[in-house]
Amino acid sequence: MLFRVVWLVGLGLVLWTLACAGQRWEHFTVPTPVTEGDTLIIGFHGGRDRWNNERVGVGRMAVKLRSMGLPRTHVQTVENTKRDLALRFMQAALDRNGDGRLSAEERASARIILYGQSFGGAAVAKFARQLHREGVPVLLTVQVDSIGLGDDVVPPNVRRAANLYQRNGRFIRGPQEIRAEDPSKTEVLGNWKFDYRESKIDVSDLPWHKTVLRKDHAKMDRDPEVWGKVEEMILGAARSK
């Protein structure tokens, strides 16, 4: 357990040093503000994956959702170290009268779905808490093999939450259970475990840093069953009243 904590802290420091580079405000593609009643779907990438990486699970999901042409729905992907930009984006998207602040009406009208993998799953939990402090509700959070500290508690501004994880990896593996801070406000849809001991998912083409000590973590990112379930929950939330 101590090794895993030290490893996570070390990797977190590496990612933090990269935060000054990468995604910038001009890379956000969704025009702001959005129309009242529109749904915003935000995917947080894992590890060092760039915001526009379409080969990994978060990027592939974004491409598929966009291709569906869902009415009044906007999809944006974010690097997990760029939650400050994601918050700026959310504020701009909801500030329909352009006065630089969110009114109670603008906050209450938000329709936000968050999903993420690995460090992106942890970013989902952290960003949901940021939105809670802003008084902004969230329709759904989905964490895929979330890697972080304190990412197992869902804040009360989230209506529904889901957790998909694997425990085959010795050091890199998601939490077995997420729980609602306030069960009267948040429904945990499920904590689904995936097993990769006999998996035939091929990750041989990935660079060494994506597989060393985390091959099962990488397999989960490529598992069509995982992302099929993520898609199902996202579509359900996007179509909800």
Position 19 scores a pLDDT of 47
Among candidate residues 84, 73, 43, the one with its CA nearest the CA of residue 221: 43
Please, which residues bridge with residue 76 across strands? 42
Mean pLDDT of 91-107: 96
CA 131 – CA 123 distance, rounded (Å)? 12
In the prediction, which pLDDT does 81 show? 97
Range name among 78-82, 113-117, 209-213 with the lowest pLDDT average: 209-213
| Bridge partners (DSSP) listed for residue 75 | 41
Which tens digit of pLDDT belongs to each residue from 130-150?
999 999 999 999 999 999 888
Token couple for 43: 């995917």
Per-residue pLDDT averaged across 36-56, rounded?
Answer: 96
Average pLDDT score over residue span 185-195: 98
What is the average pLDDT value for the chain, to the nearest integer?
92
Helices (H), ranges, the chain: 2-18, 57-67, 83-94, 104-108, 119-134, 215-221, 224-238
pLDDT 10s digits, 66-77: 999 999 999 999
Q: Which residue has the higher pLDDT, 20 or 28?
A: 28
Amino acid present at 177: E
Phi, psi (rounded to 5 degrees) for 51: -60, -25
**Residues of the chain with pLDDT > 70: what percent?**
92
Q: How far is CA 51 from the centre of its chain?
A: 12
Three-state SS at 66: helix
Q: Which domains, and CATH codes, for the chain? A: 2-238 (3.40.50.1820)
| Tokens 């993520």 belong to residue | 230
Whether 86 and 134 have beta carbons less than 8 Å apart is answered as no
Rounded Cα distance, 124 and 210, in Å: 21
Rounded to whole angstroms, the Cα distance separating 212 from 200 reads 18
- pTM (2 d.p.): 0.90
Residue corresponding to tokens 């909800």: 240
pLDDT of residue 150: 83
